[in-house]
Chains A and B, each alone.
Chain A
């Protein structure tokens, strides 16, 4: 352990590290912590000193208090169902030898990269009062608006997140343990109950917390499908657009941020420390153990049903753009597409500009950030680690509102510029780049860099000639993940767009809420094609070198 003075002396010889370190801190301070701080400040600002008048007002307003409980309730039930679906999917993919795995994985990836409110949009088209399935095929009216509709939508939207975590966890549980249990005479159910399940509990908790954070912060789906069921995210929006009351919106954001923050801390410092990794050194040669036929076909049909619903969702989005009036007149038309080409293309161009720049920035910043955190022993590196991962937990609309509150006044006026959107994207998606960087760095033996240092290279040279070339695939992965996230972001940018710098996803949400399903579907289809196309092209070009969505 270096002493403090030795450490500082060592650092004075290493300007690159110091520079990167300060730059990373400064960036997060200005473009992440400051907007959040402004939000807290705005909510307690009174005519004379701090005042909690708005919080008192909040408590006296039944609707707002109700929507807080509604948000929590929705988070609890959606998390439970999404985690169960995610677990069954993950178990099927890692433990069961069944047909169609590639297809199921593709479905999950599609859900992960698509617009966050796709499911909400298509559910009304499929299962609404005039839905293709409920009305067209079954001929019976069905109420989709309300908490139960939202619950289904959130389950389908967020189970892939749980899946992603759980696949990793289940893969890390050595199948040898299951063989051993079986050899000792345990039945299949006992193996599952006493071996697999206990070992994956921390992973399940981690996945559940991740889903809960996302459900709490989701804006698009409740805005489309919640009906009279109010949640904090949409109420905060209403406070701004209906009342012009940024203070109350800030109060709502803070009140929602509290449970999200607790979940984040729990996930980062408690649950993730408890993950049982049973795979050691040499990989086992044991393949997937044969599961009972009943289990196998149950899981297969489960995955098939869920996947079919998702296929239906995307089919309805694709078709919806080409039929005259969904729900009534299913004749072919290109009029919606004409609109999209006229009005949507400039917005899509903007989205491409923003996503390319912020994706690139996220990848580079994320990798550098991860490098200095994991390779340099700096004071406060844990703090940097914390604030580099925290944005993943902050709901988009909170940071969006924080940005307008912070950057429409001096010293830094950014509203109406494209930079405010790009910076917002970078701040929010930094964890994506950071995680890619972290994964990359952990695969590189530190001795390679030590060799470079021993040969006399400084940090900058080592970084440029040794570490970064080795981290190319991490950079690539970080770039593509952040690019995709930026292309589909909605709630964070809804208040930041301007006539000049408009974006497709808020336009889609606007069209959908105006009742123009056809145009909304057409524009969604184009946006999804671009995102999926990008991913496919990257997979074809970079293939083996950049691991993308290895699920």
Chain B
């Protein structure tokens, strides 16, 4: 700044003073460049300092050692991989950090991305905890040996239906697929609101449906699984082909269709009910409809990544996250239905008892995911 003022003065100054000022500017420039170099070194040093202590936190704590003497209080940093939305993870992580003093960092990615990431890093895992995303992704990860078996003492407070029988993952919320309708847009197009899955095939909805892509989104995988289990393999694919004809475009993330429909880019969107309810609570003119035939659902999974850098802190996180307090916080900010009975749902949200669910076998979807994606690729190719 100073040099700028000097430069302005220099333009109006007589010749000899001008030279003097220019010299000064040069000196300032020199000091600035020295300062920049110093800053770089300092920043680089800080960067290295931050990084270096990471690989060392208690990597050698074996189960045998922990039985002989009381385990040391786990310390951070804890690396959280999460498929929830950025804002929710930030709130949850900072609450956890405040309560336990364990430094927590997170990375958000869609469920499919996280699975690929955890798989790719399996030789040297970076994440400790995997928070959220349909349990079918956790189930696939379990099958690949990417998860750590951990029987959390808090898990007993949750219905076994929502938990993995082998304790590789625990469900902390339940979500059901819903249809999101932009009331203003559907009225202006003079269309009827869809009530059922079958309704979505109606040719009048052409170009008015936004959904997500099963290659990246767990939501879309649940939608595909629902259609295939509701109608059976071949009729299910016929249904999905028909639906695809009406689809305007597919989003990468499963919550995005609700957002886009909220804004009015299309009349109808397919997302999880809680993602749609969030849009409603934010004040958009949107309606949530659960299909009459019944709908598919997910259990939001929470698991510990095998051989992660900080398993002790990860266990503390899992115990905390499955507890009542964190459950209530998560439901309050996300409107997802908690798997804990003692967590209250914010008023205005549709409770589980009012949603018709289908008999949905997520394990079947997990086992057949490759086959489903292959078939889908053929449809996309046209």
Which residues of A pack against B, CB within 8 Å? 61-64, 66, 128-130, 145, 223, 227-228, 230, 238, 240-244, 246, 325-328, 339, 342-343, 352-353, 356-357, 360, 404, 408-409, 413, 415-418, 495, 497-500, 502, 507, 510-511, 513-516, 519, 540-542
Contacts and interface: CB of A to CB of B under 8 A. Distances in A.
B215 interface: yes
A415 B256 contact: no
Given A240-B116, A499-B79, A513-B253, A129 B381 contact: no
Contacts of B256: 513-515
Given A327-B263, A514-B253, A63 B108 contact: no
A510 B108 contact: yes
Contact of A241 (B3, B54, B112, B249): B112
Contact of B265 (A129, A228, A353, A495): A129
Residue from A243, A417, A497, A502 having most chain B Cβ neighbours under 10 A: A243
B161 interface: no
A408 B121 contact: yes
Given A129-B266, A353-B44, A499-B106, 14 more contacts: A129-B265, A130-B264, A243-B373, A327-B264, A328-B264, A328-B284, A357-B43, A360-B40, A408-B121, A415-B126, A499-B105, A510-B86, A515-B259, A516-B259
B79 A242 contact: no
A542 B29 CA distance: 7
A63 B380 contact: yes
A415 B259 contact: no
Contacts of A145: 248-249
A515 B47 contact: no
Nearest to A224: B252
Given A63-B377, A328-B264, A408 B120 contact: yes
Contact of A356 (B40, B127, B249, B284): B40
A130 B249 contact: no
Contact of A242 (B51, B86, B215): B215
B327 interface: no
| B contact residues, range | 35 or more
Contacts of B263: 130, 325-328
B51 A540 contact: no
B255 A515 contact: yes
A360 B79 CA distance: 30
Most buried by A among B126, B250, B262, B380: B126
A228 B216 contact: no
B69 to A, nearest CB: 30
A343 B40 contact: no
Contact of B85 (A63, A415, A514): A514
B115 interface: yes
Q: What 5 pairs between A and B have smallest CB-CB spacing?
A: A515-B259, A242-B215, A63-B381, A62-B381, A499-B105
A244 B119 contact: yes
Nearest to A502: B107
| Most B C-beta atoms less than 10 A away, residue of A227, A415, A519 | A415
B194 interface: no
Contact of A541 (B3, B127, B216): B3
Interface in B59-108: 77, 79-81, 85-87, 90, 105-108
B44 A500 contact: no
Contacts of B106: 499
A409 B119 CA distance: 13
- Of B116, B127, B255, chain A has the most CB atoms within 10 Å of the CB of B116
B4 interface: yes
Nearest to A537: B32
A497 B107 contact: yes
A62 B116 contact: no
A511 B44 contact: no
A357 B44 CA distance: 7
Nearest to A66: B381
B159 interface: no
A230 B106 CA distance: 31
B77 A228 contact: no
Contacts of A228: 249-250, 380
Contacts of A356: 39-40, 43-44
B380 A230 contact: yes
22 contacts: A61-B377, A63-B380, A129-B264, A241-B109, A242-B216, A244-B120, A327-B263, A339-B86, A343-B86, A357-B47, A408-B123, A413-B124, A416-B121, A418-B47, A498-B107, A499-B105, A499-B127, A502-B107, A514-B253, A519-B86, A540-B4, A541-B32
Contacts of A513: 251-253, 256
Given A61-B377, A515-B260, A357 B90 contact: no
Nearest to B114: A241
B199 interface: no
B341 interface: no
B77 to A, nearest CB: 7
Interface in B16-46: 29, 32-33, 39-40, 43-44, 46
Nearest to A226: B249
Contacts of A343: 86, 90
